[in-house]
Structure 1
Amino acid sequence: MADPVREELLALAAIYCGPHEWEVLSRSETDGTIFRIHTKAEGLLNADISLELVFHLPVSYPLCLPGISINSKHLTRAQCVTIQEKLLEQAEKLLSEPMVHELVLWIQQNLRHILNQPETGNGSEKCTFSMSTTVDDGLWVTLLHLDHMRARTKYIKTVEKWASDLSLTGRLMFLGKIILILLQGERNNIKVPKS
């Protein structure tokens, strides 16, 4: 781990030192560091909204964008995706320097404005998971949409086995009639479908 990244993580741990504000989820010399920050930001009608921000700092960070996941029981999935997109846009402006604290401060200051935009919608489904990461020779993320699943238990076991065999991590999500598989792993283990 590079010294600037180590220093950034130490600073973040000191800043977010309250109960359950900061948690390192994993640390690896090959995959980088994944950690979670719990914070609040002012939403619509001046109400505080709890946010769970999960950052994945790849080994090449800060020369590449961090992976960012947004979760909140107060926001819809569409709102979480919009916030994630806005954070990644902001991160592009800060590329090549430690940026996590700047991103957290930015979302705290701008959440209300993002939620006021019409494209964030006001649907009722809650945000469960969304992750984005840079596309490089190492870590890739892909989202698969399944039309249907007949033998659910058997299918889940098969997907888990394939993911394990290919050293992939992911999440199988049932959103009403929509079935999604989110996979994350080495580029060589994820084949991107051709359009």
Structure 2
Amino acid sequence: MSETALEEVSVLSSIYCREGEFILTPRAAQDGLMVQINSTVGAERRLDVSLLFHLHPSYPSCPPAISVCSTSLSRTQCQDIRQKLLDQAADLPPEPMVHQLVEWLQLCWEVPEKCKEEKKEVEKEEEWTAVLSLDHIRSQSRYIGLLQRWSLQLQLTGRVLLGRSILVILQGARPSIKEFCRLLKTVKVDVDSSGRKCKERMMKVLIESPLSPLVDTGSRVLW
């Protein structure tokens, strides 16, 4: 990471200093940093929003990747915020911009009139549960980091069971689960026995059914 990016992260930790407001997740050198800022948006209604910025090693020469999730907003509204932040980032010069993006969101984004009652009736999308079987996890920090990022981007709840069998349990919209599975098979998520990056070609969907509550099995909750 550049000195400029590291300095920005230090400043952000000072600005967003309330408990749980700023979370930094170090990545491998080639993967950059993950910065999570928990904020509120909207002048009339203060709505909680979690913003995840993936700062690539070349940042700020390139804009950050952004994910948005919220228990106060619908999936459509979160996607709308994410797109507006990406558009805003694309218009900014190549310099530290995370604080500027968060401030812009806090000051400029408002809940559209037609969406103000959506919290009372959440999107009428049927929720599903899926259980996936993974072949191996050798580069655990990289692999699980990608799973976390995809689940945030796709608005999924998940957990991983690490043992003799490696299982991933997902809950959320069925199209999002299908996209998660597609990413697993098409993106290089791990390394093979020779240390080369590889895709999860051996992933299997063991169960896919309408939503049932996650049970406490002593598994490791990762996102």
In 2, distance between residues paired with 1:190 and 1:64? 26
Q: Secondary structure at the match of 1:28?
A: coil
Gaps of 5+ in 2: 152-157, 159-169, 190-196, 201-223
Gaps of 5+ in 1: 127-147
Alignment-derived partner of residue 93 in structure 1: 91
Alignment-derived partner of residue 63 in structure 1: 61
Aligned residues: 159
In 2, distance between residues paired with 1:103 and 1:36? 13
CA RMSD of aligned residues (A): 3.3
Matched-pair contact (CA < 8 Å) for 1:87–1:103: yes
CA change 1:37–1:176 in 2 (3 A) is closer
CA change 1:119–1:94 in 2 (3 A) is farther
In 2, distance between residues paired with 1:181 and 1:11? 36
In 2, distance between residues paired with 1:91 and 1:82? 14
CA change 1:177–1:51 in 2 (3 A) is closer
Equivalences for residues 8-47 of structure 1 within 5 A? 8-42=8-42, 46-47=44-45
Instruction: Report percent identity of matched pairs.
Output: 30
TM-score by length of 1: 0.68
Superposition deviation, residue 177 in structure 1: 4.4
Superposition deviation, residue 120 in structure 1: 10
CA change 1:186–1:51 in 2 (3 A) is same
Alignment-derived partner of residue 140 in structure 1: none
AA aligned opposite 2:65:
G
Higher helix fraction (1 or 2): 1
**Structure whose alpha-carbon radius of gyration is higher:** 2
Q: Secondary structure at the match of 1:24?
A: strand
| Deviation sequence 1:98-149 (CA, Å, 0-9, x none) | 100000000001221xx227699946139xxxxxxxxxxxxxxxxxxxxx99
Equivalences for residues 143-158 of structure 1 within 5 A? 153=131, 156-157=132-133
AA aligned opposite 2:112:
N
In 2, distance between residues paired with 1:56 and 1:176? 24
Alignment-derived partner of residue 49 in structure 1: 47
In 2, distance between residues paired with 1:39 and 1:161? 38
CA change 1:73–1:186 in 2 (3 A) is same
CA change 1:189–1:103 in 2 (3 A) is farther
AA aligned opposite 1:65:
P
Superposition deviation, residue 70 in structure 1: 0.8
AA aligned opposite 1:27:
R
Q: Which range moves more in the overlay, 179-188 or 17-26?
A: 179-188
Q: Secondary structure at the match of 1:25?
A: strand
Alignment-derived partner of residue 135 in structure 2: 161
Alignment-derived partner of residue 105 in structure 2: 107
Superposition deviation, residue 62 in structure 1: 1.1
Q: Secondary structure at the match of 1:23?
A: strand
Superposition deviation, residue 24 in structure 1: 0.7
